[in-house]
Structure 1
Amino acid sequence: MDMTWISILLAVGMLVMLTFGVWVSFTLIAIGGLGLILSENYQVGMLFATGSWGAATSWSLTALPLFIWMGEVLFRTRLSEDLFEGLAPWLGKVPGKLLHVNILSCGIFAAVSGSSAATAATIGRMTLPELRKQGYSERMAIGTLAGSGTLGLLIPPSIILIVYGVAAEVSIARLFIAGALPGLLLICLFMGFTMIWGHLHKDELPSTTTQDTSWSARFKSLGKLLPVTGLIGFVLGSIYGGLTTPTEAAAIGVTGSLILAACTGSLTRQSFIDSLLGAVKSACMIGFILIGAHFLTLAMGFLGIPSALAQWIASLGLSPIVLILYLTVFFVVLGCFLDGISVVVLTVAVVLPMVKSAGIDLLWFGIFIVLVVEMSQITPPVGFNLFVIQSLTGKNILYVAKAALPFFLLIAVAIILITWFPEIVTYLPTTMSKG
């Protein structure tokens, strides 16, 4: 059978299975097996066994369940309440007022969670009722939460960066360092937009605030911020400083989160078991997807699809900018139907050969793909953050998507900026490697 028809058959088969709700991991394994059979390679069982072992035993993956567990532990502590109480006195007089708590709380929690859904759910449970009670615009409160919740994908330690690093064979530590400045850029864009909105829509903000914004209250609130910021600084600082590997830093993070939970009185036998089970379930799900993706990659290698696709793209003579534009549209559309991790593992094997042939830095491309996946998290019909926030608010999914639209556009602005100024991504990893 002609390779073009084989490719079409595999793509249609994958689409049909995903449409009928088959697990992503099972879909990948089934399509990989079909690809091997179509390539007249009937050693499917042996190739799956050896490929699965290679995918599941990568030492870099050890950091994945540990960072997930750290986020699960902190998810069940008083962290979110402390974040709100610690940030509110500092933001009560800034244009946009306490709407900025959503942005900064998500930014801080993202650095200890690594999960977009966990970030949006944790911060949303705490901030939305309080903002509604104080009379803030509900649409803007939902919008800032939806946009800022995506920071969990980018700000280190990011689960999706670990997955990309393993799949693309790029240093996870360098990816973490590269994600820092783009993460801060997004926070600045979100806060800048919120300030402008707050200045233009003063009638949709409470005329007074119940928060004490005196300097004594501000300095007192620092005590609530110190534990979590200290944990973040220690974990990320140990990676950035070259003192630990991401896996070692993850182990330190788990230990620190357990100590933090114990100090706040939130660490009970039940919360410990719940956090452990939550981490095991999430890590197994991601691990199974990675095994399926590795097997599919193996099958596509036998078929020669990645190299043929790369040659076809190269024959079109696309400039790197045009290629990035096409890939942006492709990833956003794909992200409307799949979660971020599935998007990465499904596409990396096919996309990387053409990215390499175009001379695009794989480190930069990792941050680019995460930013595009962030956009897809707040894109209907299947933006994961939209569903999380819909469950919190009971609002129509289109209402939530409309509220998130400005932040979708701001992420697009960030993608344009890192494309125009790639040093935003590469400066810190390059500087630290020289140091």
Structure 2
Amino acid sequence: MIKTALLLLLGGLALSLPVASVLAIGGYFLSENFSFIPMTGAAGTLTWSHSTDFILIAAPMFIMMGELMHRSGISERLFGALTPWFARVPGQLIHTNIASSAVFAATSGSSLATAATIGTVAVPNMDKGGYNRPLFLGSIAAGGTLGILIPPSINMIVYSVLSQTSVVDLYAAGFIPGLMLAMLFSGIVLVAVLLVPSLVKGQPADGSLWRARLAGLPHLLPPLMLFFVVVGSIYLGVATPTEASALGLMATLGLVAINGQLNLSVLLSAFEGTVRTTCMIMLIVLSAFFLNLVMVSIGLVDTITSSILDLGWSPLAMLLAIIAFYLVLGCFMETISMMIATTPIVVPVVVGLGYDPVWWGIVFVILIEAALITPPVGLNLYIVQAVRKSGSISDLFIGSVPFLAAMLVMVVLLLLFPGLALWLPEVVTPN
């Protein structure tokens, strides 16, 4: 039964079938052949109940927030405001790419939106400043991955629903690792530029930097305000995560209106992007829920969990094997699909090994981030290449390597110091 399920999933993906179709077909086959009571009749009820899940409703809200910020010029002003602060740091605009991605991530919740938005603003400056193309482009792709680690995060919402874990705890757990990962990215750039100064040939900063820094401060306020509205309302007890996403969307609409960009063209473009992304995610989510229901009903999840735990490996060895599995799988599978297809199977194993599901959620998100910049299927690489519009994508493949190494360092740090993820949830939501 386990072999049949694996062959169905891997075979469908190898044939490049849509992931939602692979999951739904797999669920139908297992239901018809291994279940005493075929579960296909429950598909309609399951689809309705999960498509109206209160937590999942937050996803399109966060997606639209990112779409509106991208199309209204808020992100461009954010990039310009941060640029003077790194003018005298070796690496200059590369650090701005990472910092802008981190700030934008705190409002959009999407890696793809973060990479596309910051890439659109940053790429035109690459050749003007004489930057090494692989390193510059790699920083945009890697910075984009922060969109699913620094809260609010759409992927954390999905993981919360699939693993029955508190999204509030997950958001709190993502703060410190998210900021640390951004600093690791900048640290790698700093070391690389100090060792090889020719990587950056930018012009030296002039003496009017403080004037430019102060002049740009007002443009940093909108994303920071949105972050406070969304995350602050959650931890102040004013709103649930879903209600906070609605508040954030209304605040974003207000900012766009204040900037004079709230017109029909911007709204229609934002609606189109939101619907396209939401439909893709929800179709995969609903198909995965059907497959998960079938696997639970036929005992497949328990069988897999027992088989793995019966191997007799130490918890650490088993966890390292799971991490290696995800690093390999990330080379060939899209991230949201990987999360949805594997979470119901892997989380019981990880919990059975004695690890905290919230802690694992953060490690898991970082592994998914790595998949976003791992060739040949790293979506952020192709997003940045599409924004770039010319040149070889091999630049991005090469440029992503040092940032991938930083992610692995962050995983090791979480293994050695679990409190990096677990301390803040214990502080903000004590039992």
For 2:153 and 2:209, the matched residues in 1 are separated by 36
For 2:188 and 2:383, the matched residues in 1 are separated by 23
**Contact kept? 1:332, 1:372, Cα under 8 Å:** yes
Structure 1 letter corresponding to 2:333 = L
For 2:171 and 2:40, the matched residues in 1 are separated by 36
Q: What is the Cα deviation at residue 210 of structure 1?
A: 6.2
CA RMSD of aligned residues (A): 1.7
Structure 2: gaps of 5 or more residues: none
Q: What is the Cα deviation at residue 20 of structure 1?
A: 2.5
Q: What is the Cα deviation at residue 211 of structure 1?
A: 6.6
Show the counterpart of 1:128.
123
1:193 aligns with 2:193: no
TM-score where L is the length of structure 1 = 0.95
TM-score where L is the length of structure 2 = 0.96
Q: What is the Cα deviation at residue 182 of structure 1?
A: 0.6
1:253-264 superposed matches below 5 A = 253-264=248-259
Show the counterpart of 2:423.
427
1:350-369 superposed matches below 5 A = 350-369=345-364
Aligned equivalent of 1:152, options 147, 172, 183: 147
312-321 or 415-424: bigger deviation:
312-321
**Contact kept? 1:305, 1:350, Cα under 8 Å:** no
Show the counterpart of 1:411.
407
Q: Closer, same or farther in 2 for the Cα pair 1:218/1:263, shift >3 Å?
A: same
**Contact kept? 1:68, 1:279, Cα under 8 Å:** yes
Show the counterpart of 1:34.
29
Structure 1: gaps of 5 or more residues: 1-5
Show the counterpart of 1:3.
none
1:78 aligns with 2:88: no
For 1:201 and 1:12, the matched residues in 2 are separated by 47
**Contact kept? 2:112, 2:379, Cα under 8 Å:** yes
Structure 1 letter corresponding to 2:298 = L
Q: Secondary structure at the match of 1:60?
A: coil
For 2:289 and 2:45, the matched residues in 1 are separated by 10
**Contact kept? 1:306, 1:351, Cα under 8 Å:** no
For 2:347 and 2:49, the matched residues in 1 are separated by 20
Q: Secondary structure at the match of 1:61?
A: coil
Q: Closer, same or farther in 2 for the Cα pair 1:322/1:210, shift >3 Å?
A: same
For 1:217 and 1:163, the matched residues in 2 are separated by 40
For 1:310 and 1:56, the matched residues in 2 are separated by 28
Q: What is the Cα deviation at residue 68 of structure 1?
A: 1.1
Deviations 1:280-330 (A, max 9, x none): 222222111111111111111122111111111221222222122111111
Deviations 1:43-80 (A, max 9, x none): 34312123223322221111111111111111211122
Q: Secondary structure at the match of 2:310?
A: helix
1:173-252 superposed matches below 5 A = 173-206=168-201, 208-209=203-204, 213-252=208-247
Q: What is the Cα deviation at residue 212 of structure 1?
A: 6.3
Q: What is the Cα deviation at residue 398 of structure 1?
A: 3.0
Show the counterpart of 1:299.
294
Aligned equivalent of 2:11, options 4, 12, 16: 16
For 2:184 and 2:148, the matched residues in 1 are separated by 17
Structure 1 letter corresponding to 2:425 = P
Q: Closer, same or farther in 2 for the Cα pair 1:209/1:128, shift >3 Å?
A: farther
1:58 aligns with 2:53: yes
Q: What is the Cα deviation at residue 261 of structure 1?
A: 1.3
214-223 or 84-93: bigger deviation:
214-223
41-50 or 218-227: bigger deviation:
41-50
193-202 or 255-264: bigger deviation:
193-202
62-71 or 8-17: bigger deviation:
8-17
Structure 1 letter corresponding to 2:362 = I
**Contact kept? 2:61, 2:245, Cα under 8 Å:** yes
For 1:427 and 1:313, the matched residues in 2 are separated by 30
Structure 2 letter corresponding to 1:434 = P
Aligned equivalent of 1:374, options 369, 377, 380: 369
Q: What is the Cα deviation at residue 40 of structure 1?
A: 4.1
Q: What is the Cα deviation at residue 408 of structure 1?
A: 0.2
**Contact kept? 1:107, 1:151, Cα under 8 Å:** yes
Q: What is the Cα deviation at residue 252 of structure 1?
A: 1.0
180-189 or 307-316: bigger deviation:
307-316
**Contact kept? 1:380, 1:398, Cα under 8 Å:** no
378-387 or 391-400: bigger deviation:
391-400
For 1:167 and 1:115, the matched residues in 2 are separated by 18
Q: Closer, same or farther in 2 for the Cα pair 1:173/1:133, shift >3 Å?
A: same
**Contact kept? 1:89, 1:212, Cα under 8 Å:** no
Q: Secondary structure at the match of 1:434?
A: coil
Structure 2 letter corresponding to 1:225 = L
